[in-house]
Amino acid sequence: MSTDRIVGIDLGTTNSLVAFMQGESPVVIPGDDGSNLVPSVVALDQDNRPFVGNAARNSLIATPERAVYSIKRLMGRGVDDIQEELKFFPFRLAEDLQAGEVLRIRLGERTFTPPEISALILRQLKRNAERFFGAQVTKAVITVPAYFNDAQRQATKDAGRIAGLEVLRLVNEPTAASLAYGLDKKQNGIVAVYDLGGGTFDISILKLHDGIFEVIATNGDTHLGGDDIDNLLITIALDDTLGDLGLDLRRNAGAGQAIRKSVIEAKIALSSQSSVNIDVELPCGKRYLREITREQFEQLIQPIIDRTVGPCKQALKDAGLKPEQIDEVVLVGGSTRIPRVRALVKELFRREPHTDLNPDEVVALGAAVQANILGGGSEATENMLLLDVTPLSLGIEVAGGVTDKIILRNSTIPASATQFYTTQIDGQANVAIHVLQGERELAKDCRSLARFDLKGIPPMAAGMARIEVKFLIDANGILHVSAREQRSGKEAEIQVQPSYGLTDEQVEGMILDSFDSAEEDFRQRQVIEARNEATTILAALDKGKKSPAWGHLTTDEKKKIAKMEKALIAVQAEDDYQGIRKAIDALNQGTTRLAELMMDSAVSVALKGKTMDEADMGEGPTAPHPMAKAEFE
Amino acid sequence: MTNSSLTTITAKPVPEETQTCWSCGTMRAVHFCESCGKVQPPAPVDYFTFFGLSRKLNLDIAALDKDFYELSRKLHPDLNARAGSQEQEWSLQQSSLLNDAHRTLKDPIKRTQYLLKLEGVELEEQSKTATEQARSTGQVKKQIVPPDLLEEVFDLNIQLEELRIQKKIGEDDPALIEEIGRQKLELEEKQESLLHELEFRWKMWDGMIQREQNGQPVSEEERKQERDKMVDVLNRRNYIRNLVRDVGEALGN
């Protein structure tokens, strides 16, 4: 059964998390450093091996050219759409990038596509879950911003595949959050989810009734979030240093990262303090000092957070609702900790928003709930069903460069539309179809998804062929197309030229790279982890031997423990992780009384009911939490 | 699956409506089996038939919604995620058919248009797409101005042209704007009243279908007349809707 475990993953711009349903409630699985949040940062070590998370984030200042963050901003996008991003983010594009090619980012001497970088983050989460379960994890539900288009969704799915995960479902982040909130409430009503994260903004309006979570309307901006606030503060600091010190740090990536780190800390601190001091050591030896009051900060960010108003109003309009008709408002995403954002939401929806669940974790928890539903459900998720919508209209280009919308935004998915095509000239064998996504009237203003060529149409007089093309958006929000010539009943061949994104072959190649060693990696990791655990328990035993409690054991007990200790030491050096585990378990059992005695004699604290192994776990690193930093400053 | 950025699915012929469940073989199954709960292959049916409805236009929306949610609980891919790949494919097809049918039938205009299409009527293109297309290709859009609106529309178009010219040279005439705004309100009222007229046509249509169901023959002539009347109401309503939109754009809202 454990191999069938499906995890829920929040692949965020700033942080990523993995969660699963433990009994009747979802829980986040911590990383090996004890942290629930894995920073979405990927870096390369000296041997060009990638590493992920807090360690990678910490390497940003020392080796910025070997690290990348906020990769989510580049998912499913072409070089033309990221010109704005390049002004503010230190993304280093591969020099040999060809027009129309999927983006490649340079890390040290290697280059990676955005799905590959995301896959490295996913692989870390997968490992964290595998360590937690002691078994392989191969299936996942991954969340995406509700306003992600087809290409961005496909890129996320590709990332899952590259990481060796079967992505059972892509769930929209605000919808996932509503699942986590709705789990224990089970009430009916209209809920608005306002989700302002590190790089994306979503607003979703849902109708909850009898366990059905029905999205009525959604809107958003896939390039709006905490990153934009950071960039504003960074720009000010760079301007300051240039103006006051005559120091141009624009090309100094390390200094840029030092400034970025301190402004992020300042931003976080300003959610709980009325003013904050920025203090950064600059490469010239001088310090950059600046006080920012909350008032100044709020003025500064107002234009950014005001950009969330339009989508909220549009979503309400599309839902046919007035703000008064919203029963509850839920806040999601780290940026909703900013008091000014909360005030704005209150103004918009005229009620106090809910913040019961940690806004950083709620999406991952919801993904775990959806994973549970897909896995067949449990008592907690019985009767729960998610009905989501497509955020953007799907259209095809017709004569004159006009978009003909065939599936309108906010249609419940899966959704489909059938179009009929014919030939213009005698014996025409091919018909080209250009598929678009977006709300604008002209094709050039919409997002180009792909060009399809219908091929192999039987020779007929012009206008005689009747080709039925079916467009289907699946429950992941991803488009599928099929075609049939009706008169001949012949299936028309479809050749896809994706406007963005990797081909199947490319993805396959990327998987192989990581898969070649996946099995071996997993086995070795299990051995290493078991060895580490053995070291921990042996160290704890040494400590126990020196404690007064040791003297209270009988000679027989001591003899038994010594025997088990020897057995563990002997097996520890071998490659047999199951043997090591067995020896650990035996020693754990054998030392239960010692642990109890140690507790009784007050040698150690808070060991109640624990074996030695568990007792020592408490001394591990504590989880770094963004909120804690507010007091850190 | 052939391509990753945009996947394609094979167009398979839709199977004929089955009489028994493909899995347990006992029940007469429509969308899912009453006995074992398995999703059935989608049958090639229209949206009315999908919901087990006759082709009547006065619909109990609450009942439709209820059926929609009940069927969603059986057909949705999330609830069939552990089934075999064929069943998952059927679930996807059935679920999209369910959503498409619900979306079309719950909307009064879409429902009427859909019924007319089923009855073989090709509706005049009044959509914005057609307008844009006509503009960009220089073709004359096929569009019939309802006779009772001819004079009004003529005047309104002159005023709109005046407004556009004024905007171009950076002037504005509050009296003109107010006058156009007043006419917009009138048009919106007319649009609303046409919906009532449409509802009346539904009643006539449904009565005819009912007579047919009761075994009384309905002449093709009568059927055509009823259809034509509905088409007429829809055309006038579309025309006014487009006018309201144009006026709104000219006024800048």
Q: Do A277 and A314 fall within a single domain?
A: no
Q: Which of B72, B106, B140 is the last residue of a domain?
A: B106
Q: What is the pLDDT at residue A80? A: 83
Report DSSP letters for A103-139, one per residue.
P-EEETTEEE-HHHHHHHHHHHHHHHHHHHHTS---E
- Chain B residues touching A489 at Cβ < 8 A: 13
Residue A68 to chain B, least CA–CA distance (Å): 24
Candidates B64, B65, B78: best to mutate against A (most CBs of A within 10 A) is B78
Q: Which of B106, B139, B172 is the last residue of a domain?
A: B106
Mean pLDDT by 10 residues, chain A (633 residues): 76 96 92 90 89 90 90 90 83 83 89 94 94 92 94 94 94 95 78 94 94 95 92 88 80 85 93 90 81 91 95 95 93 94 95 89 96 90 92 87 90 92 82 87 85 80 83 92 76 65 78 55 72 83 85 89 90 84 87 80 40 34 26 25
Record the tokens describing residue A491, joined without a space: 């299936």
Contact B97, A416 (CB under 8 A): yes
Q: Do A135 and A172 fall within a single domain?
A: yes
Query: Residue B39: inside a domain, yes or no?
Result: yes
- Chain A residues touching B90 at Cβ < 8 A: none
Q: Do B227 and B169 fall within a single domain?
A: yes
Query: Residue A628: inside a domain, yes or no?
Result: no
Q: What is the pLDDT at residue A625? A: 25
> Nearest-CA residue of chain A relative to B131?
A402
Q: Do A524 and A609 fall within a single domain?
A: yes
Tell me how far apart the 2 most distant CA atoms of chain A are, in Å: 100
- For position A454, which CATH number holds? 2.60.34.10
pLDDT exceeds 80 at position B30: no
Out of A10, A150, A227, A265, which one is annotated catalytic?
A10
Q: Do B188 and B228 fall within a single domain?
A: yes
Q: Do A25 and A64 fall within a single domain?
A: yes
Instruction: Domain count for chain A, please give it.
Output: 4
pLDDT exceeds 70 at position B177: yes
Q: Do B243 and B181 fall within a single domain?
A: yes
d(CA B14, CA A322): 43
Put simply, the chain B residues between 66 and 105 with a CB less than 8 A from any chain A CB are 69, 72-73, 76-79, 81-82, 92-93, 95-97, 99-100, 102-103
Query: Residue A624: inside a domain, yes or no?
Result: no
Query: Residue A630: inside a domain, yes or no?
Result: no
What is the average pLDDT score of chain B?
80
Domain that holds residue B33: 12-106
Out of A195, A485, A533, A613, which one is annotated catalytic?
A195
> What is the interface size between A and B, counted as CB pairs within 8 Å?
139
Q: Do A219 and A353 fall within a single domain?
A: yes
Q: Do A85 and A159 fall within a single domain?
A: yes
Among residues A527, A526, A537, the alpha carbon closest in space to that of A584 is found at A537
The phi and psi torsions of B21 (rounded to 5 degrees) equal -65, 135
Q: Do A200 and A270 fall within a single domain?
A: no
Domain that holds residue A292: 226-303
Q: Do A194 and A319 fall within a single domain?
A: yes
Q: Do A259 and A217 fall within a single domain?
A: no
Q: Do A204 and A293 fall within a single domain?
A: no
Strand pairing category for A467-473 and A479-485: antiparallel
Kindly report, residue by residue over B41-73, the tens digit of the pLDDT: 887 789 999 998 999 999 999 999 999 999 999
Q: Which of A471, A501, A531 is the last residue of a domain?
A: A501
Active site residue A616: no
Helix (H, G, I), strand (E, B) or coil at A59: coil
Active site residue A244: no
Q: What is the pLDDT at residue B29? A: 58
Query: Residue B244: inside a domain, yes or no?
Result: yes
Here the ipTM equals 0.81
Helix (H, G, I), strand (E, B) or coil at A6: strand
Query: Residue B19: inside a domain, yes or no?
Result: yes
**Which residue would you say has higher pLDDT here, B169 or B105?**
B105
Helix (H, G, I), strand (E, B) or coil at A309: helix
Residue A3 to chain B, least CA–CA distance (Å): 14
Active site residue A80: no
Q: Do B43 and B148 fall within a single domain?
A: no
Instruction: Domain count for chain B, please give it.
Output: 2
- For position A540, which CATH number holds? 1.20.1270.10
Q: Do A190 and A233 fall within a single domain?
A: no
Q: Do A22 and A157 fall within a single domain?
A: yes
- Chain A residues touching B2 at Cβ < 8 A: 496, 504
Positive or negative, the CA dihedral A347, A348, A349, A352 is negative
d(CA A606, CA A584): 22
Out of A130, A150, A158, A173, which one is annotated catalytic?
A173
Record the tokens describing residue A176, joined without a space: 């996932």
